Structure 1
């Protein structure tokens, strides 16, 4: 009887030991995120921050911190002022939800908006390294009018970049009238969204070591309007000691839309219509009293993302002000700036988004976002008409306007014409012309100037097509604006589906970006 009791007890303990070992394996899988793995807490000079864990596809863990304030809320008296340093907090900050998007004149997104929006997010590897991780500081795009960090999420960023030993920081900046309105003088100098980006960089430099980051290895990157912002950051004396590398993706300060004075005209028009006199010395004080809805009511029918008689497409954005960029010449600013590696690039057919039907450009007309019926019959005379009306304006070329029309038309008409193509040749050339003017030539100009001034310079063209037909119908060959960032961060508005070749190209591109962030070069095996 005693022997049987010992036998049963032994069996019981063996079973318990087996179950305990099995449960140790499966409990984290079942209950991951429910505090069996404790939520990470980081102590910073501003206060403690509590995030949460995310198990990446690699099997490793990432620590996610969402909605960390990097500046005082830019509301009330701080509207239309440079960002102020954030105040310290006493209680542990629960950094577990994305911040609301910055308020603007309109949005195509359903995310919540708020003027109190100067927050950033940090995604980091859980494992500690003695040398500190390199940092990617990312600025979203959206024509300086829309955008937020929630759109990009944290899962794809973690799976693609954090898994490779990179800390990723995504920031928000003021948009539209609150970020870029300017009267062109000291009354309302503008560029507040740029100053927000600088303040975020300063904040990251102060606290990133507590997240196991190496502040001497910060790469600033952006897409579209965010790309133009980081391009400008690379030229501003304010950012000389705040980062080490630049990664502009599909946008440049050298684009006409990247730094122009059209915002002054729009500002003055809106100021008068909203009930503040544009010639008043108290213009800033008056605008601070207006509600967000009052701005939206005036702005929505006025700009709606684009000026239709202007090739640059955007009417609100940064401008040369003699403050953020001290000199009034980008070429001179490039010469003066520190020598830093730059990896700049474009998609192969950026402007498909502005020549085809597109929900983000909801006002098709004779010259932009053409209807499908027109695209199919687009002719050489249509191309000439576009050049004549939009580009060869008499105020620019005087009596030489027609000669300019002829030379431009001949250049693009003499490109190789694939007779067997399913695409309209002159429509594709028209799309290429707009891509050249808004993206390709400015990016090349920036790259050439950087190289001439001894900056290690790399350039890419992303040509592998990705199905983003919700925003860019397949009416011309090539990859549309935003295709590169979709490959890097995953589908922003819908999942992208890639075949095996597409997955290989995507992986190579991600590895190129990761290698540049970590090592400052692009040496990988293809």
Structure 2
């Protein structure tokens, strides 16, 4: 397992050399928040060429920012000692700085648009509703990630924080754990995460999440949306969001839901059904309703027909189901809540792709999200 820890810096791409006439109020500003499941990633991974060609050339200032990740960005004891969300506070400071200073770089402080992918999409949604950050942005573009996703907001990070504490020899009481964490070298955290694994076989597939902490998020999301000044939100997803994980098996650091390539041809109805029973709707969670919920899910994706299909069919349905649970439904849920609160909401779905993007023997070919 490789977990990357990058230095903190931001990059600004300026249209000045490409467009001579600056608008009287300054150029609009796009601020890129990178993805990576709140665990990995960095702004430099996206380079500068496409940003310059596609955005700066059109009279836009583009800023890419960094924020703390994984154990340094989202560890939490679930109380006031370590409430979590440090990565979100980092993002907020970046937007605050831009709001106060972007005019000095030729930008319009009233047109600062937060845009991001995956965890970056969830981040831009969070920034648009938190009372600590929402006044620093004018609108958001949320691509393939929504704050309503289970992986984008969960208290399971508290148990992970304590599990890591045990591995590195820290006490589990909040104050002592925090003190010990501060004194521990990053390498020790990486060793501990190596032992416990960076991901889980679950719809909350990453182990470090933001959470509703009573501070950055003083209330739950529906209430924050209702009380926040409405801001335009462009929310979207691709035709096969989870294919990046399930079929292509990429980003192993975050991925316990992929099907190994050598198992593709053996994947059948019973494999799909077993995954639903053990991961999506387990008896440990749904109790006496588990069987009924499992049957409804299987019926929704596979229908009543018991006729056996080729493995490609079941692989597609598996990917469809996880696309819905991890990305599509959370995005639609957030869009519905914002629309009900009179936010200007725009939805898109990207279903264009080139077959040249994929290996010839890949069973599912569709537009997928990429970090």
Q: Same fold (TM over 0.5)?
A: yes
Partner of residue 451, structure 1: 339
Question: Do 1:227 and 1:248's aligned partners in 2 also have CA atoms closer than 8 Å?
Answer: yes
Q: What TM-score comes out, normalization by structure 2 length?
A: 0.92
Query: How many angstroms apart in 2 are the aligned matches of 1:444 and 1:431?
Result: 18
Query: Cα deviations across residues 314-363 of structure 1 (Å, max 9, x unaligned)?
Result: 11120110100111x21111111111111000111011122125242279
Q: Quote the offset at 1:294 in angstroms.
A: 1.1
1:149 to 16, 24, 43: 43
Q: Quote the offset at 1:423 in angstroms.
A: 7.0
Q: What TM-score comes out, normalization by structure 1 length?
A: 0.66
Partner of residue 339, structure 1: 230
Query: Cα deviations across residues 440-494 of structure 1 (Å, max 9, x unaligned)?
Result: 0000111111111111111111111245548x98321321122xx7xxxxxxxxx
Q: Quote the offset at 1:303 in angstroms.
A: 2.5
1:277 to 154, 167, 171: 171
Query: How many angstroms apart in 2 are the aligned matches of 1:449 and 1:287?
Result: 38
Written as runs of structure 1 = structure 2, the 5 A alignment for 1:3-402 is 106-107=2-3, 113-114=5-6, 117-126=7-16, 127-129=20-22, 130-279=24-173, 281-304=175-198, 306-308=199-201, 310-327=202-219, 329-361=220-252, 368-402=257-291
Q: Quote the offset at 1:136 in angstroms.
A: 0.5
Query: Cα deviations across residues 51-72 of structure 1 (Å, max 9, x unaligned)?
Result: xxxxxxxxxxxxxxxxxxxxxx
Which blocks of at least 5 consecutive residues in structure 2 are unaligned? none
Instruction: Note the aligned Cα RMSD (angstroms).
Output: 2.4
Q: Quote the offset at 1:262 in angstroms.
A: 1.1
2:329 to 430, 441, 448: 441
1:408 lines up with 2:267 in the alignment: no
Question: Do 2:32 and 2:114's aligned partners in 1 also have CA atoms closer than 8 Å?
Answer: yes
Query: How many angstroms apart in 2 are the aligned matches of 1:393 and 1:381?
Result: 15
Query: How many angstroms apart in 1 are the aligned matches of 2:363 and 2:262?
Result: 11
* Structure 1 residues 378 and 352: CA distance shift in structure 2, 3 A: same
Q: Quote the offset at 1:391 in angstroms.
A: 1.6
Question: Do 1:106 and 1:146's aligned partners in 2 also have CA atoms closer than 8 Å?
Answer: no
Question: Do 2:267 and 2:311's aligned partners in 1 also have CA atoms closer than 8 Å?
Answer: no
Which blocks of at least 5 consecutive residues in structure 1 are unaligned? 1-104, 486-526
For the residue of structure 2 that corresponds to 1:185, the secondary structure is coil
Partner of residue 76, structure 1: none
Find the structure with the greater CA-based Rg.
Answer: 1
Q: Quote the offset at 1:399 in angstroms.
A: 1.7
* Structure 1 residues 415 and 351: CA distance shift in structure 2, 3 A: farther
Query: How many angstroms apart in 1 are the aligned matches of 2:133 and 2:289?
Result: 42
Higher relative contact order (Cα pairs below 8 Å, separated by 6+ residues): 2
For the residue of structure 2 that corresponds to 1:241, the secondary structure is helix
Query: Cα deviations across residues 156-185 of structure 1 (Å, max 9, x unaligned)?
Result: 101001111111010000011000000101
* Structure 1 residues 364 and 378: CA distance shift in structure 2, 3 A: farther
For the residue of structure 2 that corresponds to 1:119, the secondary structure is coil
Query: How many angstroms apart in 2 are the aligned matches of 1:473 and 1:337?
Result: 48
For the residue of structure 1 that corresponds to 2:151, the secondary structure is coil
